[in-house]
A and B are shown apart, each in its own frame.
Chain A
Amino acid sequence: MTTLPAISGRRRSADRAMRIVLGLLTLIALVPLVAIIYFLLKNGLSAFSWHFFSTDPTGNFFGDQGGVKSAILGTVEIVLMASVLAIPVGIAIAIYLVEYGQAGWFGNTVRYLIDVMTGVPSIVFGLFVYAALVVSKVGGQAYTAWKAGIAISLLMLPIVVKSSEVVLLLVPNGLREAALALGTPRWRVVMRVVLPAARPGIITGAILSIARGIGETAPLLFTTSLVLGTTTSPNAPMNALPIQIFADINSPNSQLVTRAWGAALTLVLMVLVLTLIARLYASRSRIA
């Protein structure tokens, strides 16, 4: 039997050093988070109250300025619309790229263009939707919630595609081949074997994209207006948290500024809740 050489002191200290470095770097990653959360809590927690969540902004400068109910509901509706569009389409494109588009000019071009899309500033997407849909008043109204949904879905799409592609590529080929060998048609292999295997990663990607889309202001400014009342119709302007924050944070009235911070804190909490729900749903998560 061969005896393995003992671990030299040098290797041992290298190991220890790297553990410390990695731990430190992780801590460094967390320091800004803690600082920002503290900042948000310090400025925004005082805005929280039942009134804050249950009333619409009134437009009053003094007195009862109202809460941000319409903004919260509007954000939920707009991001829901954007997700319904971006997430399935994004996953579908990722499936195409991994299963059918590994070689060949078409797959490579699509992959390349998706990479490019990730670098487009959100304001340019807003401008694009404004020029394409708002000015020509597609659908009857100029500023509508569904157009905001489209602008945001454009923002989310590349993130979903890219992250799904990465995890789909890591599904072992053996799984696919085994299923195919059993006579499963190709589409079933994808839907019943590959996708479930990659599910935790895909969900992570979906949440990342929602987190991005939920907080963007610029696309909203060009496609929907600041509406104070709660609206439900997708074919009309709708309020949303980022616009409300944008309008309030520049207000001369410090109470409205506090309301803006409260709204920002609400956004972060919303994504936190979403993350927790999604992790529960993906009960087979590899990490937790």
Chain B
Amino acid sequence: MEAGAISVPGGRAVLTRPFRERLADPVFKWILRILAGLVVVLIVFFFVFLYNKAHVALSKFGVFGFTFGETWDVGKEQFHVLPMLVGTLITSAIALLIGVPVAVAAAVFVTELCPRRLRGPLTILVDLLAAVPSVVYGLWAFVILVPNLEGTENWFGNTFSFIPFIGGGTPTPGPNYLISGLILAIMIVPIVSAISREVMATVPSDHKEAALALGMTRWEMIRTAVLPYSRAGITGASMLGLGRAVGETIAVAFVIGGSTSIGHHMLSQGYTLAAIIANEFQEAANDKLHAGALVAAGLVLFVMTLIINAVARAYVRHAERRNLSPPPAPEGTEPVTLGAVAT
């Protein structure tokens, strides 16, 4: 390129920027690095503070004993959190199983299938679910869901009585794992849906148009062009939803029933790690062992989240490696070769 033939802003001068301008980039990078590092510092601090308070209980029962023991009896000063751990896992699993498909479906519908005019209002409506305070969710679930779902629950239990955990059993009326999972599902829908929506909206339209031009139906186009592209983003959204489900304190406290034994049935009362902290901490604040046990429950939750996230991360990495090959052509069509372009 001759000098002066094309004038580029900066031109050759770009290669010899003054020192001050060259400084901007590393400074920027370092500011960001420090802020990111703050997160690490925060978490360490967090862990240290909490462990400090929890030490009383953890040293008395041992870390494993505390986590996997079954008795939580305040009067007898026995604190073990297995029932709560199980409860957290069960309710979060139900929340994800119900919440994520509904949220992703809503996101797909809003971005791909619904009439243009409805998009704005529908978006705002689904997002509005995020604005409801958890106290309202808890009370609504307790006052409306619990009595109204009793009949359905009984029918369900009787019809599917041959499946363990899901069917059969003699449910006590009222709060239980299922309703807790259900209210959590409702609470995570707006988060998962909003982020999935943003992700699906960035699918390049040429991908979608190419699929449609090749004769795919709308659903096939979504399945092959939109969903695979959005997979990573949807997984990210689901992790946020999972985080919310695992950590939700007050809404679950209303509908879990506060039972300190492990429920053997979806319709049993139970407890979660977050809910027991919410229910007992204020009155336990002046009792060092009890308060320490509750903080230790928080730590167990923390470690559990660490493990679940590590596992999920490993799974995603494994799945992405397998998915480097292009998605298969829809059935019923033959692979089309367009002249020089071979698939």
The reply to whether A and B meet directly (CB within 8 Å) is: yes
Inter-chain contact B39/A124, CB cutoff 8 Å:
no
Chain A residue at minimal CB-CB distance from B203: A170
By a CB distance below 8 angstroms, the chain B residues around A7 are: 215, 217, 332
* B267 interface residue per 8 A CB criterion: no
Chain A residue at minimal CB-CB distance from B291: A127
Inter-chain contact A26/B298, CB cutoff 8 Å:
no
Within the complex, the shortest CB–CB distance from A170 to chain B, in Å, comes to 4
Inter-chain contact A32/B186, CB cutoff 8 Å:
yes
By a CB distance below 8 angstroms, the chain A residues around B237 are: 166
Could you list 7 A-B pairs, sorted by A, with CB under 8 Å?
A11-B330, A25-B102, A40-B132, A127-B53, A166-B237, A172-B204, A205-B195
Q: How far is the CA of A245 from the CA of B139 in the complex (A)?
A: 12
Q: Which of B56-64, B150-158, B172-180, B302-310 contacts A (4 or more CB under 8 A)?
A: B302-310
Interface size on A, residues (CB 8 A): 106
Q: Mark B313-328, 1 if CB is under 8 A from A, else 0.
A: 1000000000000000
Which residues of A does B touch, CB under 8 Å?
2, 4-5, 7-8, 10-12, 14-15, 18-19, 21-23, 25-26, 28-30, 32-33, 35-37, 39-40, 89, 92-93, 95-97, 99-101, 106-107, 109-110, 112-124, 127-128, 131-132, 154, 157-159, 162-163, 165-167, 169-170, 172, 182-183, 185-187, 190, 200-201, 204-205, 207-208, 211-212, 214-218, 221, 241-242, 245-246, 249, 264, 267-268, 270-272, 275-276, 279, 286-288
Given A11-B332, A93-B36, A166-B198, A187-B24 contact (CB < 8 Å): yes
Inter-chain contact B298/A166, CB cutoff 8 Å:
no
Inter-chain contact B125/A89, CB cutoff 8 Å:
no
Which residues of B does A touch, CB under 8 Å?
8-10, 14, 17, 21, 24-25, 28-29, 31-33, 35-40, 42-43, 45-46, 49-50, 52-53, 101-103, 105-106, 108-111, 113-114, 119-120, 122-137, 139-140, 144, 186, 189-191, 193-195, 197-199, 201-202, 204, 214-215, 217-220, 222, 232-233, 236-237, 239-240, 242-244, 246-250, 273-274, 277-278, 281-282, 295, 298, 301-302, 304-306, 308-310, 313, 330-334, 336, 338
